[in-house]
Structure 1
Amino acid sequence: MGIGEDVFFLYIDEILTWLVRGSLDMDCISIRRTNYLKYKQLPPLPSIIRGRFEPLKWMEDPNRRVDYYDPYIPVEISTNSEMIEGIAGSAGRIEGTVRVLSHPEEGSQLLPGEILVTSTTNVGWTPIFPKAAAIITDIGAPLSHAAIVARELGIPAVVGCGNATTRMKTGDKVIVDGGQGIVLIR
């Protein structure tokens, strides 16, 4: 077709029409590419969504949760901005520097001894874990991927924090207490 990767911004009926007629309105490609890039910048969406969900508006909320979204339940903001509570995933206590990552492809940014903070993990994250001093996730439970792998490697982990990725940023100093399920921001 001579349009390279842009073919992925076309619908099948547009491709078939183009093959028959030999012409195509190329304006739709740039509009769709712009929308794709805008939505690609979104953080991982909540695993549970109840009600009308507007992702761009949700992303702007500094107190957003990534584990669930329900517009009818008021957001609880901790009065203790220095502590994040989650679920004890793997015992151990360590102090270190945070590295917030969105995707396992960013794993090369994690320096040995840093504390990995992400929304959730799966098997794609496993090769990154040995470099981490501790793991913190927004979504998770005692039997989640992050908790199980952290226990196997002896790395402290606090999972199911809800909004750790929005409350912490790369470079923050924290104390992770995996046995108590808390993170103290220094």
Structure 2
Amino acid sequence: MAGHLVLYNGAKMPILGLGTWKSPPGQVTEAVKVATDVGYCHIDCAHVYHNENEVGVAIQEKLKEQVVKREELFIVSKLWCTYHEKGLVKGACLKTLSDLKLDYLDLYLIHWPTGFKPGKEFFPLDESGNVIPSDTNILDTWAVFDFELSSEDMTTLLGYNRNWRVCALVSAVSHKDYPFHEEF
């Protein structure tokens, strides 16, 4: 069995990775350090997990100790639903980079394919307890990565390749079980 997947641009993503979702504060730093020590190179993060800063501390410690080199790691993060509007994407990405203490991500994904009302709440609710959607429709959400980032900002951000994204969207929405099949 191969230890990695080859992505559309030739980059190799390790199949086995450490997920940081639900990692308790105060423990995720140690978990990332131990995982790196035993050979994990793929670390899955997200702003909504509330622990990217601690993950970043662990990554930086292991880089400083020369346990791994940055180019040996495959760091993934995700754009949260309250940041789907075009004007919010760059700031959200840069916040993730700052929290992780990194210059680039290996893959930046849209966490969920629906936007929520922008604001401080991760799950903004109306008076009935329902999540308030954003005014950004599914096509705008998919195109959310069409923002201005210079090559200096994000030279190796794989999730930014527009041609691949469009192909993936067409493939997804053409499937009979895709939830927005009829709308598209």
Question: Same fold by TM (over 0.5)?
Answer: no
Larger radius of gyration: 1
Q: Which is strand-richer, 1 or 2?
A: 1
> Could you state the TM-score of these two structures normalised by the residue count of structure 1?
0.31
**More relative contact order, 1 or 2 (CA 8 Å, 6+ apart):** 1
> Could you state the TM-score of these two structures normalised by the residue count of structure 2?
0.31
